[in-house]
Homo-oligomer: A and B are copies of this chain.
Amino acid sequence: MMSGNSPDFTERLRAAGLRPTRQRVALARVLFEGGHRHVTAESLHAEVKATRMPVSLATVYNALNQFRDAGLLREVVVAPGRSYFDTNTGHHHHFYVEPDGELHDFPSDKVTIAGLPSPPKGTRLSRVDVIVRVHR
């Protein structure tokens, strides 16, 4: 249906406390309408421009940071000099394929990590990231 619009994304953005501007709706559509994605600012910018919606790179960066802060995305750091943003915000871990730079999810519920030492004095656990680095 989408009588021209995207009520779902509009609503989702509003629920996250973000105005559903045209650019944010276009970005949200690209990010969230299929399955889970891992994008960089540049790759997302290229994709959204291909939909003929003009969006500046600065806006892509702004939106990615806002979406992450709102809990719609999660940031993944696996390689120096580039940030990935992940539409899968649930618990999971990653394969990182070098030198391609591809990221693949795997569920964390079948993975057992035992014997982790307790956090250093004065700190609290925030998240455990497992990155399985593979190469061709």
Pick from B77, B82, B132, B136: contact of A122, CB below 8 A: B136
Residue A9, interface by CB 8 Å: no
Q: Are A111 and B120 in contact (CB under 8 A)?
A: no
Q: How many residues does chain A have at the interface if contact means C-beta atoms less than 8 Å apart?
A: 38
B residues less than 8 Å from A114 (CB atoms): 111-112, 114
Question: A101 to chain B: closest CB distance in Å?
Answer: 12
Q: Mark A20-35, 1 if CB is under 8 A from B, else 0.
A: 0000000000000000
B residues less than 8 Å from A78 (CB atoms): 77
B residues less than 8 Å from A133 (CB atoms): 125-129
Q: Mark A48-82, 1 if CB is under 8 A from B, else 0.
A: 00000000000000000000000000010111111
Q: Are A125 and B134 in contact (CB under 8 A)?
A: yes
Q: Are B116 and A111 in contact (CB under 8 A)?
A: yes
Q: Are A120 and B104 in contact (CB under 8 A)?
A: yes
Q: Are A131 and B128 in contact (CB under 8 A)?
A: yes
Residue A123, interface by CB 8 Å: yes
The docked-state distance in angstroms from the alpha carbon of A116 to that of B106 is 8
Contact flag A126-B131 (CB < 8 Å), given A80-B75, A112-B113:
no
Closest 9 CB pairs of A and B: A123-B134, A126-B133, A110-B115, A112-B114, A129-B131, A119-B134, A80-B83, A111-B115, A127-B133
